[in-house]
């Protein structure tokens, strides 16, 4: 049953079914147990909540390996390794498909291990996160017909977001730190069109993503809005 706060609300993810629960926008499993209080929640129907939970189970077992924040080692030892021991199939897949790659940061080369992520998994999760946060902060539903663009932000992308998007004047702006730096996100909302939102996410101290072109990024950006605006 949905709590009183979510009773009678539409599911933020499908904008069609009535909510049956309050979903944690960021899965609790992303955080150490001591950092799970006061996480943002949004109304979700059973079907959407179940689908999102399956994706979260996969990614919460994988993304912490890229952690670079102060709790990264504790998160791996206390939670992630236990989950992988219970999920032998995923553990075996990660072991078989990991790659050794060379990174260059601040002019210094270093060897590290890269883990594969299913195509579209990151994008799908953060589309749901954007929908949940838009409702949590501004009580806005993002219809399924409105596109949400998810981007891995390189240094060039981060500069563009800062100079051309986050420099906009708006009263609806959020900067939130969850779990002592486990997740830091910033969001702004359009003045005239509430469905226009812009976000950037910094997780686990700046976990690194690498594209097929070899470009590195350590932040995720997102933009939502009506189709006619997003196509411009």
Separation of alpha carbons 69 and 66, rounded Å: 9
The reported pTM is 0.85
Question: What's the CA angle centered on 128, arms 137 and 194, to 5 degrees?
Answer: 40
pLDDT of residue 165: 93
What would the pLDDT profile of 158-202 be if each residue is shown by its tens digit?
Answer: 999 999 999 988 999 999 999 999 999 999 999 889 999 999 999
How many helices (H) and strands (E) the chain has is answered by 7, 11
pLDDT of residue 168: 86
DSSP letters for 17-63: SBP-EEEESS-GGGS-GGG-TT--EEEE-HHHHHHHHHHHHHHHTTG
Residue count of the chain: 232
């Amino acid at each position: 049953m949905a709590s009183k706060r979510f009773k009678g609300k539409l599911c933020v993810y499908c904008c069609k079914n009535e909510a049956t629960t309050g979903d944690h926008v960021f899965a609790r499993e992303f955080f150490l147990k001591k950092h799970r209080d006061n996480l943002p929640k949004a109304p979700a129907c059973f079907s959407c909540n179940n689908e999102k939970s399956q994706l979260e189970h996969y990614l919460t077992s994988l993304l912490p390996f890229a952690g670079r924040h102060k709790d990264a080692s504790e998160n791996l030892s206390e939670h992630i390794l236990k989950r992988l021991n219970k999920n032998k199939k995923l553990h075996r897949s990660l072991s078989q498909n990991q790659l050794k790659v060379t990174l260059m940061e601040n002019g210094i080369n270093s060897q590290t291990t890269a883990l594969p992520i299913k195509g579209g998994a990151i994008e799908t999760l953060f589309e749901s996160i954007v929908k949940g946060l838009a409702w949590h902060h501004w009580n806005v539903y993002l219809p399924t017909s409105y596109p949400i663009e998810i981007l891995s932000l390189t240094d060039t992308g981060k500069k563009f977001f800062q100079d051309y998007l986050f420099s906009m004047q708006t009263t609806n702006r959020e900067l939130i730190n969850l779990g002592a730096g486990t997740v830091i996100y910033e969001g702004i909302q359009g003045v005239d069109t509430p469905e226009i939102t812009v976000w950037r996410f910094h997780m686990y101290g700046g976990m690194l993503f690498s594209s097929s072109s070899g470009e590195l990024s350590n932040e995720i950006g997102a933009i939502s809005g009506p189709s006619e605006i997003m196509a411009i």
